[in-house]
Structure 1
Amino acid sequence: MGLDVSIVRGGTSRAVFVNMSDLPDTGRDELCLQLIGSPDPVAVDGLGGGVSSNSKVMFVGPSDSPEVDLDSLFAQVSPDTAVIDWSGNCGNISAGIAAYALSAGLVERLPVRVRNLNTGALFELSGTDPRERIDVRFRRPGGEQTGEIFPRGRVCHVDGLEATLIDVTNPVVIVRAADVTEPSLERLERLRVAAGEAMGLAPSPAIPRVALVEPADGRLRVRMTSMGRFHHALPATGILALGAAVALGGTVIDLPAQPEVVLEHPRGTATVSALVDGDQLEWVALARTARVIMTGRVHLP
């Protein structure tokens, strides 16, 4: 059995892209596991990369909604267990939709409006060449999973730590790095599970993510977890959530409220911007690059 796919880099992540028309009515988990080659830490029998940032599948197709042009459905595949998480979205791979849609003939030009079916989020992709820059702007984001931007208020206590639980594009628990005296993955996983319960989320290996933050000369130094490991850079939805938290203010992030902030991470920096009108978060945006690495036919076992 074969399937036409594209491998696309979006931002600092990579995914297998599939036309929505090829999404099966049943067995979609098995399809994603076969595409990625999971469970296997090295993904030797599939197209994954052995880490969460490269173990992703995105389905894209025309939308029946007059508000948008395309629908997307995202699957986060665990590299080493047979687990698929459909509860969230990936901002990096959302940027890759622009490159894929142009290459696959789903759209002729940008900008393009997209609805993410996992979360209901609406966003716009604009630019002239995805390889140079794609602007990803989420419109009126917030409460995609919980119904509120701050489901427990702007500051609360979770698992013995002062934290901000924010739900913008994806749920994130933000804590000060200095407050975490034991920054092991096991400790952060306990915090993550407790935060998910506090937010009323169904158990998930992917959300909420944990962000350890520290102000640094007007910027924000960040480490973030993803699927039980430290992310090699930053998940784009995590960047967007942090940008919203800074713009709205009053959180555990010790920076004044501001419409733009630079985030420092292990691979470099990311700039995120947001517009707040009163208490309403109008939009949050960041710039990425994306390109189609290959297009071809994958043979499924």
Structure 2
Amino acid sequence: MSTVPVSVIRGGTSRAVFLPMSALPAGQAERDELCLRLIGSPDPQAVDGLGGGVSSNSKVMFVGPSDRADVETLFAQVSPTEAHVDWSGNCGNISSAVLHYAEHVGMFSGDRARVWNLNSQALFELVRADDRVDMRFLRPGGEKCGAIFPAGRRCEVDGLEVSLIDVANPVVITRAADVGVDPSLGMAALNADAELLARLERLRVAAGQAMGLEPSKVIPRVAMVAPGEDLRVIMTSVGRVHHALPGTGILALAAAVALGGTVIDDVLEGRREALTLQHFKGDVEVSAQAAGDELEWVALPRTARILLSGQAYL
């Protein structure tokens, strides 16, 4: 029975299995099989693996040295219910833990690192102070679609007025009321509504086509916005309503608010650099800076913690 060196690390509101880039198989089928085996998928209980049965805990991150930055990463989103691995996008929550891992395994030393993500072809910076990590994406946007707003700041998709944005990861933004979502119902009630989930998936797929993306079960994500102290947000992840907010989705929303002109303006007045997003698990602060129509940076504070390190048996 073969083994691979792994660390299980929480980053933000997600958890992942981290491996060195040297453990990445050469073939795509072998890469998928490794990730499925590590997570224990497909199985909603993940009994035979290190996953958690939900998308936020069914993640794998490979980290290695880089010629473009201090380290580089490759992220895999594993479906907990299907034998499917998606490599199309990055995970912001898990990216916040990269510096913890790199230092832990002796790959990098220091409290500040520049990271190149291979999925999104994006550069970001991590600054660590104990468990807290500040993550800043520098001049982001258009990594997947070629433009921050590939269809303008507002457009119609599947009969709805939406905003399509590509910052950190592609996201389709819609008003929660327009898709019949009442945020007060809670995550469990929304996930029990099969008709709603099917409608959101149709919107997500149509938005991906409008953005010129290859078919994916992960991107674009759907963000439903409603009035809150600042902004109330519900997002999807792999066909379900997310228990919190994906990190890259948070960054995309901050960029949309800083740039202005999107459907968010209908529930949140005015452009701003810093805002608080309310979600099912609580609040998250995020910031972005724009100079006219140019996005300078987006930033997100997270925390991360190494849970265990050892050898995973395959």
For normalisation by structure 1, the TM-score amounts to: 0.96
Q: Which secondary structure state, in structure 2, belongs to the residue aligned with residue 64 of structure 1?
A: coil
* Match status 1:197 vs 2:209: yes
Post-superposition offset of 1:106: 1.1
Conserved 8 A contact 1:215-1:253: no
Matches of 1:177 and 1:2 in 2, distance apart? 46
Letter paired with 1:94: S
Post-superposition offset of 1:156: 0.5
Give the alignment of 1:274-293 within 5 angstroms.
274-293=288-307
Give the alignment of 1:8-23 within 5 angstroms.
8-23=9-24
* Match status 1:157 vs 2:156: yes
Answer with 164-173 or 270-279: which moved more. Answer: 270-279
* Corresponding residue of 1:295: 309
Give the alignment of 1:114-129 within 5 angstroms.
114-129=115-130
* Match status 1:178 vs 2:177: yes
* Corresponding residue of 1:148: 147
Deviations 1:188-211 (A, max 9, x none): 011101101111111100000001
Q: Calculate percent identity across the aligned residue pairs.
A: 65
Deviations 1:235-292 (A, max 9, x none): 0000000000000000000221111111000000011101111211010000000011
Matches of 2:199 and 2:108 in 1, distance apart? 45
* Match status 1:81 vs 2:93: no
Matches of 1:104 and 1:173 in 2, distance apart? 37
Matches of 1:299 and 1:181 in 2, distance apart? 46
- Find the partner of 2:247 among 232, 236, 246: 236
Post-superposition offset of 1:215: 2.1
Query: Please, which runs of 5 or more residues in structure 1 have no aligned partner?
Result: none
Post-superposition offset of 1:127: 2.2
Letter paired with 2:154: V
Post-superposition offset of 1:179: 1.2
- Find the partner of 2:228 among 216, 234, 237: 216
- Find the partner of 2:274 among 247, 257, 260: 260
Post-superposition offset of 1:181: 2.7
Matches of 2:61 and 2:301 in 1, distance apart? 19
User: Alignment length, in residue pairs?
Assistant: 295
Post-superposition offset of 1:107: 1.2
Greater helix content: 2
Matches of 1:147 and 1:23 in 2, distance apart? 28
- Find the partner of 1:45 among 44, 48, 52: 48
Deviations 1:108-160 (A, max 9, x none): 1110000000111100000221x2x1000001100111000000000001101
Matches of 2:214 and 2:254 in 1, distance apart? 25
Matches of 1:105 and 1:288 in 2, distance apart? 22
Deviations 1:160-215 (A, max 9, x none): 11100000000000000111137711110111011011111111000000011012
Matches of 2:250 and 2:56 in 1, distance apart? 14
Matches of 2:159 and 2:311 in 1, distance apart? 50
Q: Which secondary structure state, in structure 2, belongs to the residue aligned with residue 253 of structure 1?
A: helix
Matches of 2:153 and 2:211 in 1, distance apart? 12
* Match status 1:54 vs 2:65: no
Deviations 1:14-40 (A, max 9, x none): 000000111111211111111101111
* Corresponding residue of 1:64: 67
* Corresponding residue of 1:187: 199
Matches of 1:128 and 1:207 in 2, distance apart? 31
* Corresponding residue of 2:104: 103
Letter paired with 2:294: Q
* Corresponding residue of 2:31: 28
Post-superposition offset of 1:58: 0.1
Query: Please, which runs of 5 or more residues in structure 2 have no aligned partner?
Result: 182-189, 191-195
Conserved 8 A contact 2:259-2:292: no
Conserved 8 A contact 2:141-2:168: yes
Runs of 4+ that moved beyond 4 A: none
Matches of 2:44 and 2:112 in 1, distance apart? 37
Give the alignment of 1:131-146 within 5 angstroms.
131=131, 133-146=132-145
